[in-house]
Structure 1
Amino acid sequence: MGRTTDTPAKDVPPSGSDHRRAWAALRPLVLRLHFYAGVFVAPFILVAAVSGLLYVWTPQIEQAVYAEQLRVAPSGDSLALSEQVEIAEEEVSDAELDAVRPATTDEDSTRVLFNAPELEDSHRMTVFVDPHGGEVLGVMETYGTSGALPVRTWTDVLHRSLHMGDFGRHYSELAASWMWLVALGGVVLWVSRRWRAGGGVRGVLVPGAGTSRGRARSMSIHGATGLWLLVGLLFLSATGMTWSQYAGANIGDLRERLAWTTPAVSTAAPAASSDAGANAGADAGVDAVLASAREAGLDGPVEVALPEDGESTYVVNQIGSGWPTQGDSAAVSAETAEVTDVVRFADYPLMAKLTTWGIDAHMGTLFGPANQLLLTALAGGLITVIVMGYRMWWQRRPTRSGALGVGRPFPRGSFRALPLGYKLAVVLLLALIGFAVPLLGASLLLFLAVDVLLGWRARTKGSRPPGPDAQREDAGERQDAAVPPRP
């Protein structure tokens, strides 16, 4: 990491207003935190950005790789859905039938989904059937409510856990947990630096504006690009944490307490149906169930889930993830094929809608190709910001003093220089954030331990004064923190 000094940060002279004095006191601490987070967490964010960029385009990759299983020649006639299910059951006789996804158009295949004991949770064995001729087009393992095929499943697992199981999920949670804090801190640092230095709106918004080369240009590209990406990065961070192990569990608990959970249909068979005498124990079949669901308004792509036992209903869910969102659900009696309960997406609580939209937008499916292009631009910009951040770190290394090393963090002592009230506020805020986002809190403690160790090492060995380049850089940073406001 290079050398650090134990010289306390100097108090910044008053700037004429409380909020300027507050920021002048806090800025050195934010700089140091931003440095450590950027150096140690940015690699995780970079991997998440690259793997996420790859995942965004997997729907098109699936259509190309699995065209023979997904597409069929159109025909005016189709087999009954129950016949297609029977054909699939003959193909995988050792698995338990779970659900059916009927063909939506004349060119789509039907998916018949089975539970198999050797598969992991949320994985199902899927038989692809030509709805017109009844040929089995293939058998593959699929994943989740999106029905991801092997290529997309592999990419999804890469993005979530690097194929390292539950331990690997720490990487993606660490990236999502820190990204919002690094982005917010970086933008505040950049805007305050550029605006007070007289760069104006153009200097804040245009990458490279007013600079020619060197670290100043790298910083301009890093800061201005980060500003443009801020809203998108906050969105990716928030939605990413909903899938995480620890922060995700806290988010789930909060949603339950505030009644923000997604509503579900009642699957209990009505008493009148279960006491229907001749019909008791009968099964109306998937064709009648699907027809009833269509009459109830569940059009488009759907999944028909079979009853879990003899006392529950079929459940039909709309599975389209585009806009406008189709997320209605219907419970249909197994004995009479009558709709017993319906939940409309339009009636979801607002937060449940926002959660659904956020997840679909994060995956790139909400607005189709437009969503994918936006995420591609966001990932590309994030990669640029990270690369420029490391370039700045490298450019800040000592070059004329003969010392080896890389860029140094802002000099220590910034926290000790804060007024007592600020110290308490900072500790309380970080403690609350660390409690809500556990991996962020744990990694922050690790950063502090590393910082203390480096300080102890510097004091033990005796710290030589930094070279002329480093001295000028430190002076520039301090002057920037204290620069008066523009007239």
Structure 2
Amino acid sequence: MGRKTDTPAQDVPPSGSDHRRAWAALRPLVLRLHFYAGVFIAPFILVAAVSGLLYVWTPQIEQAVFAEQLRVAPSGDSLALSEQVGIAEAELPDAELDAVRPATAEEDSTRVLFNVPELEGSHRMTVFVDPHGGEVLGVMETYGTSGALPVRTWTDMLHRSLHMGDFGRHYSELAASWMWLVALGGVVLWVSRRWRAGGGVRGVLVPGAGTSRGRGRSMSVHGATGLWLLLGLLFLSATGMTWSQYAGANISDLRERLAWSTPVVSTEAPADSGDAGANAGGDAGVDSVLAGAREAGLDGPVEVVMPEDGASTYVVNQVDRSWPTRVDSAAVSAETAEVTDVVRFADYPLMAKLSRWGIDAHMGVLFGLPNQLLLTALAGGLITVIVMGYRMWWQRRPTRSGALGVGRPFPRGSFRALPLGYKLAVVVLLALIGGAVPLLGVTLLLFLTVDVLLGWRARARSPRTPGPDARREDAEDLQEAAVPPQH
């Protein structure tokens, strides 16, 4: 018989009991963090869910409300695009011509977009022209690449900033920054709780399974629904942060460092196209420019952007955000109407493509109606999870007769009870997350500061024996966290 040797400890994979002990140590901390985030951040997420749900259906609303500006009677003949632009310029003689969106189908109107001093950013004044008869159908403010009309613009600003400018954008960034962490933490807590209780797959996945009523049923609906929504919530959180001020800036910096940015066409006029200061051969005109772009393969809805000066080109951009995505761009010489540069969506870096698809799916335009229905279900489920969370908080109130009472958070001391290695890991992980997602980091520090101050205040008071309701709550909490009481 050979001599028996001991296997080195570092070569032994961690056992299931080791994992259970690790989770038993971390679970109280996750419970307390999930509680605070749920109570104080959920209102921001709720507002984002409701306003986002409204936004999803604004395209259909606008088609109905502004039908007279968007639709015309089909006719076989159309005016030259340059003539339509001239009609629009006569309507707004003091505005600066910026771009034109030609009618794509016979029943579509043409949009001519102007920059006016009172509008900033992506807001422009748009004149709607009947391409067949030349009648001005209306003048209104539009916004962004999507060409959002007033209804969608108003709802977009509500969802983005509550109509409070840059300051209001903090609300939506808070919602997007915390949603992924709250969702992940909640799912881990729910699955571990139900699995340990012997609920099985059905108990984890089916809302209300294995429970009759009360807080247990609310928790089942809250947890199981959150599990079903997890991937969608992670998607909304990630894509929402790309629009944010602080996390969005970090994402943009990362994409630039990794060469994941969206490429753009060069707008410099060719060196041999005449005098660089002014096009010697004059302007070929918007009709010839559009024809050149069409020959280069830019079909469907497009926007023709006017040259900024004599040394630059027209830029023609596809603006169809539905699937399959058509967002090619072409630079077209103002003098010769020749295409000088083309950027194809097919040539985008993978991350630039994913970003484009993610943003369009977040807005509900990538797959049309199915996309809208999916976002509606996701928003409805998220609202349900939040409502059930607050209902659980109310059902956990210390005195059942106190209708306005609410439950206490998990008892303090969960971080202090962690082993040193776990403490260091938690601090490093949260520091990294806080650096990448600044508003999450700032609000987390605020939670910790308030919690520490409340703890000091409680200890400074004269010791009192906790009442039976408080003792019952603490016992339930400790049992729920699967750790022994600390004496």
TM-score tier, shorter chain, comes to over 0.9
Q: Distance in 2 between matches of 1:223 and 1:471?
A: 26
Superposition deviation, residue 117 in structure 1: 1.1
Please show how residues 366-381 of structure 1 align to structure 2 within 5 Å. Answer: 366-381=366-381
In structure 1, give the amino acid aligned to 2:155: T
In structure 2, give the amino acid aligned to 1:222: H
Query: What percentage of aligned pairs have identical amino acids?
Result: 89
Q: Which one scores higher on RCO, CA 8 angstroms, separation ≥ 6?
A: 1
CA contact (8 A) 1:196 1:483 kept: no
Q: Distance in 2 between matches of 1:365 and 1:309?
A: 34
Q: Decide which moves more: 71-80 or 457-466.
A: 457-466
The structure-2 alpha-carbon separation of the partners of 1:253 and 1:463, relative to structure 1 and needing over 3 Å to count, comes to farther
**Does 2:339 align with 1:326?**
no
The aligned residue for residue 240 of structure 1 is 240
The structure-2 alpha-carbon separation of the partners of 1:465 and 1:276, relative to structure 1 and needing over 3 Å to count, comes to closer
Superposition deviation, residue 67 in structure 1: 0.5
The aligned residue for residue 57 of structure 2 is 57
In structure 1, give the amino acid aligned to 2:373: L
CA contact (8 A) 1:179 1:233 kept: yes
The structure-2 alpha-carbon separation of the partners of 1:278 and 1:64, relative to structure 1 and needing over 3 Å to count, comes to closer
CA deviation map 1:205-259 (0-9, x unaligned)? 0000000000000000000000000000000000001101111111111110011
CA contact (8 A) 1:215 1:392 kept: yes
The aligned residue for residue 308 of structure 2 is 308
Q: Distance in 1 between matches of 2:470 and 2:396?
A: 7
In structure 1, give the amino acid aligned to 2:438: P
Name structure 1 gaps, 5 residues minimum.
1-13
CA contact (8 A) 1:265 1:331 kept: yes
The aligned residue for residue 9 of structure 2 is none
Please show how residues 324-473 of structure 1 align to structure 2 within 5 Å. Answer: 324-399=324-399, 405-462=405-462, 464-473=464-473
The aligned residue for residue 7 of structure 1 is none
The structure-2 alpha-carbon separation of the partners of 1:399 and 1:332, relative to structure 1 and needing over 3 Å to count, comes to same
Q: Distance in 2 between matches of 1:439 and 1:99?
A: 37
The structure-2 alpha-carbon separation of the partners of 1:185 and 1:284, relative to structure 1 and needing over 3 Å to count, comes to same
In structure 2, give the amino acid aligned to 1:237: S
Secondary structure of the residue aligned to 1:114 is strand
Please show how residues 257-336 of structure 1 align to structure 2 within 5 Å. Answer: 257-274=257-274, 280-336=280-336
Q: Distance in 1 between matches of 2:442 and 2:359?
A: 26
CA contact (8 A) 2:265 2:329 kept: yes
Q: Decide which moves more: 381-390 or 396-405.
A: 396-405
CA contact (8 A) 1:398 1:467 kept: no
Superposition deviation, residue 481 in structure 1: 2.8
Superposition deviation, residue 400 in structure 1: 5.7
Q: Distance in 1 between matches of 2:301 and 2:459?
A: 66
Superposition deviation, residue 276 in structure 1: 10
In structure 2, give the amino acid aligned to 1:345: F
CA contact (8 A) 1:281 1:310 kept: no
Q: Distance in 1 between matches of 2:38 and 2:268?
A: 52
Secondary structure of the residue aligned to 2:272 is helix
User: Which stretches of structure 1, 4 residues or more, deviate above 6 A after TM superposition?
Assistant: 276-279, 401-404
Q: Distance in 2 between matches of 1:277 and 1:43?
A: 56
Q: Decide which moves more: 466-475 or 297-306.
A: 466-475
RMSD: 2.0
The aligned residue for residue 211 of structure 1 is 211
The structure-2 alpha-carbon separation of the partners of 1:180 and 1:277, relative to structure 1 and needing over 3 Å to count, comes to closer
Superposition deviation, residue 103 in structure 1: 0.3
Q: Distance in 1 between matches of 2:386 and 2:172?
A: 16
Q: Distance in 2 between matches of 1:401 and 1:311?
A: 77
The aligned residue for residue 75 of structure 2 is 75
Q: Distance in 2 between matches of 1:402 and 1:146?
A: 51
CA contact (8 A) 2:277 2:311 kept: no
TM-score, length of structure 1 as denominator length: 0.94
CA contact (8 A) 1:298 1:318 kept: yes
Q: Decide which moves more: 116-125 or 400-409.
A: 400-409
The aligned residue for residue 156 of structure 2 is 156
Superposition deviation, residue 474 in structure 1: 3.0
The structure-2 alpha-carbon separation of the partners of 1:428 and 1:101, relative to structure 1 and needing over 3 Å to count, comes to same
The aligned residue for residue 109 of structure 1 is 109
The aligned residue for residue 252 of structure 1 is 252
CA contact (8 A) 1:400 1:468 kept: no
CA deviation map 1:244-285 (0-9, x unaligned)? 111111111111001110001111111121259997241000
Q: Distance in 2 between matches of 1:277 and 1:348?
A: 32
The aligned residue for residue 11 of structure 1 is none
CA contact (8 A) 1:44 1:174 kept: yes
In structure 1, give the amino acid aligned to 2:332: V
The aligned residue for residue 231 of structure 2 is 231
Q: Distance in 2 between matches of 1:352 and 1:279?
A: 34
Q: Distance in 2 between matches of 1:194 and 1:213?
A: 16
CA contact (8 A) 1:183 1:233 kept: yes
Secondary structure of the residue aligned to 1:113 is strand
CA contact (8 A) 1:197 1:483 kept: no
Q: Distance in 1 between matches of 2:124 and 2:53?
A: 26
Q: Distance in 2 between matches of 1:430 and 1:281?
A: 61
The aligned residue for residue 8 of structure 1 is none
CA contact (8 A) 2:279 2:310 kept: no
Please show how residues 112-127 of structure 1 align to structure 2 within 5 Å. Answer: 112-127=112-127
Q: Distance in 1 between matches of 2:420 and 2:321?
A: 51
CA deviation map 1:18-45 (0-9, x unaligned)? 2221111000000000000000000000
Secondary structure of the residue aligned to 1:198 is coil
Superposition deviation, residue 189 in structure 1: 0.3
The aligned residue for residue 38 of structure 1 is 38
Superposition deviation, residue 471 in structure 1: 3.2
Name the count of aligned residue pairs. 471
Q: Distance in 1 between matches of 2:424 and 2:401?
A: 39
Secondary structure of the residue aligned to 1:304 is strand
The structure-2 alpha-carbon separation of the partners of 1:199 and 1:15, relative to structure 1 and needing over 3 Å to count, comes to farther
